[in-house]
Every structure is written in C-alpha cells, then in structure tokens.
Amino acid sequence: MSRNDSKYFSTTKKGEIPELKEELNSQYKDKRKDAVKKVIAAMTVGKDVSSLFTDVVNCMQTENLELKKLVYLYLINYAKSQPDLAILAVNTFVKDSQDPNPLIRALAVRTMGCIRVDKITEYLCDPLQRCLKDDDPYVRKTAAICVAKLYDINAELVEDRGFLESLKDLISDNNPMVVANAVAALAEIQDNSSRPIFEITSHTLSKLLTALNECTEWGQVFILDALSRYKASDAREAENIVERVTPRLQHANCAVVLSAVKMILQQMELITSTDVVRNLCKKMAPPLVTLLSAEPEIQYVALRNINLIVQRRPTILAHEIKVFFCKYNDPIYVKMEKLEIMIKLASDRNIDQVLLEFKEYATEVDVDFVRKAVRAIGRCAIKLERAAERCISVLLELIKIKVNYVVQEAIIVIKDIFRRYPNTYESIIATLCESLDTLDEPEAKASMIWIIGEYAERIDNADELLESFLESFPEEPALVQLQLLTATVKLFLKKPTEGPQQMIQVVLNNATMETDNPDLRDRAYIYWRLLSTDPEAAKDVVLAEKPVITDDSNNLEPSLLDELLVNIATLSSVYHKPPDAFVTRAHSSAQKTEDDDYPEGSESESSANPANGPASPPTSSYTIPASVAPASPPFAAPVPDLLGDLMGMDNSSLVPIDQPTTPSGPPLPILLPASTGQGLQISAQLTRRDGQVFYSMLFENNSQVPLDGFMIQFNKNTFGLAAAGPLQIPQLQPGTSARTLLPMVMFQNMSQGPPSSVLQVALKNNQQPVWYFNDKILFHVFFTEDGRMERATFLETWRSLPDSNEVSKDFPSIVIGGVDATVELLATSNIFFIAKRKNANQDVFYFSAKMPRGIPLLIELTTVVGNPGVKCAIKTPSPEMSQFLFEAIETLLRS
C-alpha cells in the first residue's frame, strides 16, 4: 500500500470549505476519511476550518481508529472556539470511554482532558473515575495524567471528586509506568498548590526507588525529579538513597543521567564522610563527560549544568579539563560554554596547556569567540597569581599579531590585571602604547586611558598621549569622557607642570560647559572644587589606593547556586536564573509562597544579580575603575545639596526652606529645592487634563531678588516630550510664588537608545545660572480618554496578541482595599474597568487603556481583596514599554 499524504495539502481553486463540507457528509467511508485528512492538513497550515465543526464531529462515531484519532485531534484544536457545539461530542466520548478496546478507552479520556470546555469537563469526571480503576494499565497510566490536566482546568473539582486520593493509590500500582505517570501528575499538582498534597515519606521513597529499575527511561526522569526534593533525615539515609540512584548514571538517556546527578548532589550535602563524597565525585565525572558526545543542543544543556556543578564541587571535573577543549567544528554556543568551564577548571597544574588552547582560539575566525578567549586569558591571570606572568606574555604575543579586536580586548583585560597586581607588570606599558592609535572601541579606549592616568608618573610622554585623546573629547562616548576627565586630573596631580595644567582647564571646561551628561558634569564639578579648594585633599581622594580586585565576576551567589542546583536539567539551570525570574504565569496559589520569600519592596532581580546593585563593592573586575565612583542619582530625587555647595554658593545653604502656603490642588513634588536653586524652588509634575498633557509647575522665589525671564527646555527623552509653547511666568518678587500649566506635546524630540523614564529639564532666568533637574515621567498621563473597550473587543484583542507580548510583575506590598474605589481611581487616569472574575480565593480584574498613537493596553490584576500582593499582567503590542506601564500602575495603586 503506497500512500502519500502530501496530496491533502494541495488545494482546489474553487471554494474549499463547501467542497470539504460535502465530502465530510459523503456516504462513503473512505471519502469521509480523506476529507478529514484534508481538514487536518488545512488546520496545520493555519487555515480556519472551524466552520466545519459539526460536519467533522459527525464523523466521530466510527469503528475506524485512525479516523477517530483525526477527529479527536480536530476537537482538541477547535472545541474551545465552539464550546456550544463541542457538547455534541460528549456522548461519543462517554461511550468510547467504555469501549472494550483499551486503546479507545484511553484515547477518549486523554482527549477529553485536552478539551478545556467547562461543559465537557463536567462529563469527564465519571469516565475518569472509572478509568483510574481500569483493569488495563495502559488506561490507568493515561488516566493518571488526565487528573493533572483536570487540576489545571478546575482544581476544586479534582479535590471534591477525590481524584487526588485515587492518584495517590496509583503510586502503589503494580505497573511501573502507571506509577511513573502518577508521580509526574502528583508532582505537578503539588507545584501548583500551596497545600501539602504529595509528601514523600521515607516509605514512598523506597517504593519509588524500587520502581526505578522497571520504569521506562522517561518514567525514571519523572520519579528522580519528584524525589530530588526529598530531604533525607541523616547522613545514613542519604548514603542509602545515593547508592540506589548511582546505577542510573550509566543510562543512555541524558535526562535520566542529569536527574540522577541532581538527586545525588542534593543528598551529598548531608553526607559527612569525606571518603563517600570523594567516591561519588569520582563516579559522577565520567557520565558528565559522556554527555559531551551527545547532540550539540544536549551538550549545551549539559555544559550549562556542568558550569553550576563545578562551582559547587570543583573536584568532580578537576582532572578532565581536556574534554572541554573546543573542537574546530563545535557550534559557537558550545564553544562559549566550554571556554567558561575551562576558566573555572584552570589551575596552576594545567595552566600551560590551557593557555596554549586559548592562544589557538584567539586566532580563530568568529570574533565573539576570539574576544572571549582573550578575556579568558585575563581572567586566568587574575585567578592564578603564579601564572599571571605567563598569561601576560601570551597577551603580549597576541597584541603583536595586530588584529584590531584582539588588541583592544587584550588591553581591556590587562587593565584588570593591573588592578589585581598593582606595581608588578608596568614594564609592558610601553608595548601597549604602541597600539594606541588603533583603538576605536570605547571600552578599550577607556581602559588605555585609565592605564595612562594611573601610571602617569612612569610614562614619560603621558601628557602627549592624553592630549591626543583630548582633541576629540566632545565626540567621545561618555565612558571615555569620564576616564579622560579622571586621568587628566591624575596626571595634573602627579605632574603639576604647565602642560597638564592647560589640559585640565580644557577638560574641565569641556566637561562642565559643553556637555549635557549630568554624570560627567557632576564629576567635573567635584574635581574642580576639590582642586581649587584643597589640592592635598584632592590627592587623597583621587590618588587613593584602590582595593585589589578578584575574579568572582562569573561565580554565582551561594544561595542562588543552591536554588539552581535543585533545578538541574531544567530551564532554570540553563538560564542560571531562579524559576520565578522567568516563569511569568506562576499559578495563583504558588504565587503566595514566592511572596513569602521576598519581603516587601525587595525585587527578585536584586538577589539574582547582586553584582549590578549599587551596594556591590567596587571590586568587580569589569567595572571601569574610577577614583570617585559616580553614584547615579535616583530618579526624581531632589538634586543633592552637595552640588550647590560645590559651586561655591556659600550662602545658599543658609536659606531656610520654608514651606510656602501652596495654592489649592495636591502638592507637587519638589524637583529643585531652594537650597540648590539659590532660593528658587521648583516643584513640577506631568498631568493630564482635558485630553492633553501638561507640565504643572510651581515656582517659589525665596531669594532676595526678583526673578524674571523664565525659559524652559526639555532634553531629548524616550517619549519625545517637549513644551508646546513658551513658559509664561511673570516676574517673581521675593517671597512670592506662581503656578502654571505648560502644555506639552509628544514625539517631538525623541532620544535614541534604551527607553528611560527620566525627563531632564533645564530652566533659566535672567538673574541666575541655568538650573538642571530630573523628573520622572509617569506613564499614566499618556493614557487617552478613548481607552474604554467593549468586552468582546477586549477578548478579541487579548487573543490576537501573541503570548510573548504578555508581561507580568508582582507588587507584593500593595493592598487593594475597596474594589469600587480602585476602579474609580484608575478610571480617573483613563484606565477602564472591563470585567471581574473569581479564581479560587482570588479576584481577577481586567482593565483596558489606550496609549498615544492608538496602541491598546490590556491589564489583568490578580489579588485577594484586602490582602497585600497584587499580580499585574499586561498585554500590548509594544511590550518594550512594560517597565513604564508597571511603574505607572504601581504608582496609581499606591496612591
């Protein structure tokens, strides 16, 4: 029988659907079967064949198993869109679930569980009950998974009908596959529930470990994964468990091996005997290495996991570094991960071999890989003191090849090496300076400049070298400008001769007058002030001894590492992120426990990536070392008094900040305090009135002179906000104030670069210098008045947007007290209430809003009214705005 299904994809020109309809109702079996195949083919290529629903369902009652399966497949896809018609299929399902053929019984239950229509679910319970007790293990194993499906649709129903108990009974089933599926189902249900449902006692543990021997490979994975969270009571029990799991390491299935490794690593924490631990490490190494001969994708997963494992147990693979040498034809993602592990395993014993490899990689074709190889040499130098000199000589050899990106990368890492071993390897500076003019990447330039500044006293022509950079100062990126500024100051302090003095004038002028970068300006003012008041103090500050860095940049925090090791083989271990950092749809009940882990206000981000936090010590090897770390000011915070002081306005700090009687309306946040503004205090906020955005401003003159001639300018910003007209403020007499509403327009002066909610404002008047302050743009002022949506439109929009456009965030400390008040509050900001539903003990609210240019925004809030914790999910065609949307919603809910 030679058959070729591809013919079903070919279409006839004239009306396809009516033709199919006709064929589906044909009296001939074969014709009907062919027609259903055509329908499935059409469904696969994305055509909408839902209108054939009744006709397809009519073919369901058939003896032909193949045809039945096709109809079921169709039902899984379209039942949701035709819930009323889906009921037509129920009878057949129920009948099939009692068929004498176990394959059909199982098929019916399996398919019913995939149809998420309430009406069908009601009818599923009885057949499911029967099937859980079926004589045939094939039916039971299918029913076990079906309980998990039902729990996902309606958890209460599962609990009410006692399915959980039946499922637990299946753990003692005599068929291993039934046991494995029951374990998988229970583990999943437990994951989504806050109540203890599936608790592993030492009794179940031992029963399941016995079942391991007889399970299919996948069943072994289910069981090992479920058991990996079991906490052994003492070292002896742990050793026992490990002994029974170790044989799994020899399995050909990589998933079984990784799950076994996960379980062994967990139990090892409890084992005290060093002999046992050493022995286990020895046993785990070969299987891990063998994973590297699998398909490259599996290698990648294995390598990401090995990366975690060697951080916890470096001895396991200490002698296996050779297997991580890159093959020429390895895919780039495998090479990059191998490199990372090679750095971790590099030791005084193998460094010579490793360096030879790195050097070889540094001459390959792929630029990213080459850069990483060069960086790897630097990191080895920082890690292994005794090998540092050899590493440097390899770097110097590479610099001599004169491949531009190799040279630049080498200079970046040499800067780090200087910070790790100060006053040791400065003799190579001369060689570095030879490549000065080839540098064109900001990081490399900045590194080179740092080196020149730091060692200015040893470089005879340091002033000439720096001067060559100064010509292009205004065009340089911020990173380079900051380094140039600091390096010039260092040079001046070390060699206070005429040349450097002129240079410093030029730099300070440039950095204070010609720039709109507040970081640069602030730093320049600090230096200026320091130099002019107390050069000795300047020396103490700028030339202070820097702490020595260590290479821990790529090691994870122990608590995070613990969490990741529990998740070996899963996505979490591949991303090196805890699961809740990327699983956005955590189920409602699971959410609660997560909130407990993170006390109010703290964000999960901060624990995931401590290196970027403001509190991290300045020792990370990849921060450009600066004598004075520029602390980026928090948004919307008043400009610190320091600046006013530095600018030499001695009396300004004496001016009392007395709160003037504010006119009606809510108080506006103070953006320029009187102490900074020489007595001028400015409060402002963006607001929306009558469908337009305004900048509501309050000017208070606490100085001794009348102020006039006010003008305002907004810097380029993400939303392109700009003033729609001139600022109209009359002359302000001392002690008086004025309010104004400045109309604003959007999309005028858009900034490129990453989106940011910072609005930089410059304001001047005829009497004072120009004032700069930062405001934070609150996104809700942009929501337009026509954002209300019909329920149907809402649903349709929600559905039409891909899931990748959905983002969610938790506000753990927010409480929604009154529903009506919240709805009203949001409505004033043009966020409109659509619907509300109850999900278990939680309320889910739906809102719609519209952003400028007619972009719709759909919001879902999930909370328990009166209790802290709100989960906010948004869906919009432009998810890149989500960060602002969350900020806006959070602010609104807090107020």
Partner 1 sequence: MPVAASAVYFLNLRGDVLINRLYRDDVGGNMVDAFRTHIMQTKELGTCPVKQIGGCSFFYMRISNVYIVIVVSTNANVACAFKFVVEAVALFKSYFGGAFDEDAIRNNFVLIYELLDEIMDFGYPQNLSPEILKLYITQEGVRSPFSSKAAERPVPNATLQVTGAVGWRREGLAYKKNEVFLDIVESVNLLMSSKGVVLRCDVTGKILMKCFLSGMPDLKLGLNDKIGLEKESQLKSRPTKSGKTIELDDVTFHQCVNLTRFNSEKTVSFVPPDGEFELMKYRITEGVNLPFKVLPTIKELGRTRMEVNVKVKSVFGAKMFALGVVIKIPVPKQTAKTSFTVTSGRAKYNAAIDCLVWKIRKFPGQTEPTLSAEVELISTMTEKKSWTRPPIQMEFQVPMFTASGLRVRFLKVWEKSGYNTVEWVRYITKAGSYEIRC
- Residue from the set 279, 505, 584, 878 that interacts with partner 1 by CB under 8 A: 584
* Among candidate residues 224, 147, 129, 218, the one with its CA nearest the CA of residue 189: 147
Per rule CB under 8 A, is residue 293 in the interface with partner 1?
A: yes
Nearer to partner 1, 244 or 546 (CB): 244
Does residue 643 contact residue 676 with C-beta atoms inside 8 Å? yes
Does residue 431 contact residue 420 with C-beta atoms inside 8 Å? no
Per rule CB under 8 A, is residue 866 in the interface with partner 1?
A: no
Min dist CB 807 to partner 1, Å, is 7
Tokens encoding 205: 């543990």
- Residue from the set 123, 455, 575, 622 that interacts with partner 1 by CB under 8 A: 575
Binding segment for partner 1 among 177-185, 382-390, 420-428, 686-694 (CB under 8 A)?
A: 177-185
Min dist CB 757 to partner 1, Å, is 21
Antiparallel, parallel or unpaired: β 832-839 and 758-764: unpaired
- Residue from the set 23, 225, 563, 700 that interacts with partner 1 by CB under 8 A: 225
Residues 205 and 226: their CA atoms lie apart, in Å, by 10
Q: Which helix (H) or strand (E) holds 87?
A: helix 83-96
- For partner 1, the binding residues in 26-45 under the rule CB under 8 A are 37, 40-41, 44-45
Q: Which helix (H) or strand (E) holds 722?
A: strand 722-723
Does residue 639 contact residue 773 with C-beta atoms inside 8 Å? yes
Residues 815 and 870: their CA atoms lie apart, in Å, by 7
Nearer to partner 1, 522 or 580 (CB): 580
Nearer to partner 1, 139 or 388 (CB): 139
Looking at residue 98, the DSSP 8-state letter turns out to be T
Min dist CB 60 to partner 1, Å, is 15
Tokens encoding 403: 């491949």
Binding segment for partner 1 among 16-24, 172-180, 408-416, 504-512 (CB under 8 A)?
A: 172-180
Per rule CB under 8 A, is residue 255 in the interface with partner 1?
A: yes
Min dist CB 878 to partner 1, Å, is 12
Nearer to partner 1, 248 or 688 (CB): 248
Per rule CB under 8 A, is residue 631 in the interface with partner 1?
A: no
Nearer to partner 1, 370 or 732 (CB): 370
CA 101, chain centre distance (Å): 49
Min dist CB 196 to partner 1, Å, is 17
Tokens encoding 384: 């292994």
Residue with tokens 């026509």: 786
- Residue from the set 585, 689, 791, 853 that interacts with partner 1 by CB under 8 A: 585
Does residue 887 contact residue 895 with C-beta atoms inside 8 Å? no
Site string for partner 1, 115-154 (x = CB under 8 A): -x-------------------xxxx-xx--xx-xx--x--
Nearer to partner 1, 8 or 622 (CB): 8
Residues 160 and 190: their CA atoms lie apart, in Å, by 16
Per rule CB under 8 A, is residue 400 in the interface with partner 1?
A: no
Min dist CB 277 to partner 1, Å, is 19
- Residue from the set 30, 98, 229, 401 that interacts with partner 1 by CB under 8 A: 401
Nearer to partner 1, 245 or 451 (CB): 245
Residues 129 and 127: their CA atoms lie apart, in Å, by 5
Per rule CB under 8 A, is residue 92 in the interface with partner 1?
A: no
Min dist CB 261 to partner 1, Å, is 10
Residues 369 and 481: their CA atoms lie apart, in Å, by 29
- Residue from the set 194, 216, 612, 878 that interacts with partner 1 by CB under 8 A: 216
Q: What are the backbone angles phi and psi of residue 847, rounded to the nearest 5°? A: -130, 155
Per rule CB under 8 A, is residue 570 in the interface with partner 1?
A: yes
- For partner 1, the binding residues in 681-720 under the rule CB under 8 A are none
CA 770, chain centre distance (Å): 39
Q: Which helix (H) or strand (E) holds 34?
A: helix 29-44
Tokens encoding 617: 């010590």
- Residue from the set 259, 591, 687, 702 that interacts with partner 1 by CB under 8 A: 259
- Residue from the set 21, 69, 95, 592 that interacts with partner 1 by CB under 8 A: 69
C-alpha separations of 801 from 49, 374, 439, 798, 805 in Å: 21, 43, 45, 6, 7
- For partner 1, the binding residues in 295-354 under the rule CB under 8 A are 295-298, 300-302, 322-323, 325, 327-329, 331-333, 353
Does residue 554 contact residue 512 with C-beta atoms inside 8 Å? no
Residues 76 and 691: their CA atoms lie apart, in Å, by 46
The sign one gets for the Cα dihedral 462, 468, 470, 475 is: negative
Q: In what order do the strands lie in the sheet with 680-689?
A: 670-672, 680-689, 692-701, 737-745, 722-723
- Residue from the set 17, 76, 85, 727 that interacts with partner 1 by CB under 8 A: 76
* Among candidate residues 59, 143, 65, 141, the one with its CA nearest the CA of residue 101: 65
- Residue from the set 158, 308, 411, 569 that interacts with partner 1 by CB under 8 A: 569
Min dist CB 224 to partner 1, Å, is 8
Nearer to partner 1, 201 or 804 (CB): 804
Across the strands, what pairs with 739?
698
Per rule CB under 8 A, is residue 645 in the interface with partner 1?
A: no
- For partner 1, the binding residues in 755-814 under the rule CB under 8 A are 802-808
Per rule CB under 8 A, is residue 567 in the interface with partner 1?
A: yes
- Residue from the set 53, 163, 198, 222 that interacts with partner 1 by CB under 8 A: 222
- For partner 1, the binding residues in 823-842 under the rule CB under 8 A are none
Q: Which helix (H) or strand (E) holds 263?
A: helix 254-268
Residue with tokens 């600018």: 647
- For partner 1, the binding residues in 412-471 under the rule CB under 8 A are none
Helix axes 442-454 and 404-420, enclosed angle (nearest 10): 40
Min dist CB 319 to partner 1, Å, is 11
Looking at residue 761, the DSSP 8-state letter turns out to be E
* Among candidate residues 150, 141, 147, the one with its CA nearest the CA of residue 178: 141
Nearer to partner 1, 633 or 879 (CB): 879
- Residue from the set 20, 171, 176, 627 that interacts with partner 1 by CB under 8 A: 176
Min dist CB 490 to partner 1, Å, is 34
Does residue 92 contact residue 60 with C-beta atoms inside 8 Å? yes
Q: Which helix (H) or strand (E) holds 454?
A: helix 442-454
Min dist CB 579 to partner 1, Å, is 4
The residues, ordered by sequence, that sit 6+ positions from 345 with a Cβ below 8 Å of its Cβ are: 310, 314, 317, 318, 320, 321, 324
Min dist CB 293 to partner 1, Å, is 5
- Residue from the set 96, 239, 357, 443 that interacts with partner 1 by CB under 8 A: 357
Across the strands, what pairs with 695?
686, 742
- Residue from the set 364, 385, 464, 540 that interacts with partner 1 by CB under 8 A: 364
Looking at residue 28, the DSSP 8-state letter turns out to be -
Min dist CB 372 to partner 1, Å, is 13
Residues 392 and 377: their CA atoms lie apart, in Å, by 8
For residue 17, the one-letter residue type is: I
Min dist CB 27 to partner 1, Å, is 22
Per rule CB under 8 A, is residue 191 in the interface with partner 1?
A: yes
- Count of residues of this chain found to bind partner 1 when the rule CB under 8 A is applied: 121
Per rule CB under 8 A, is residue 169 in the interface with partner 1?
A: no
The residues, ordered by sequence, that sit 6+ positions from 374 with a Cβ below 8 Å of its Cβ are: 358, 362, 395, 398, 406, 409, 410, 413
Min dist CB 363 to partner 1, Å, is 5
- Residue from the set 1, 513, 615, 654 that interacts with partner 1 by CB under 8 A: 1
Nearer to partner 1, 572 or 830 (CB): 572
- Residue from the set 99, 214, 352, 514 that interacts with partner 1 by CB under 8 A: 214
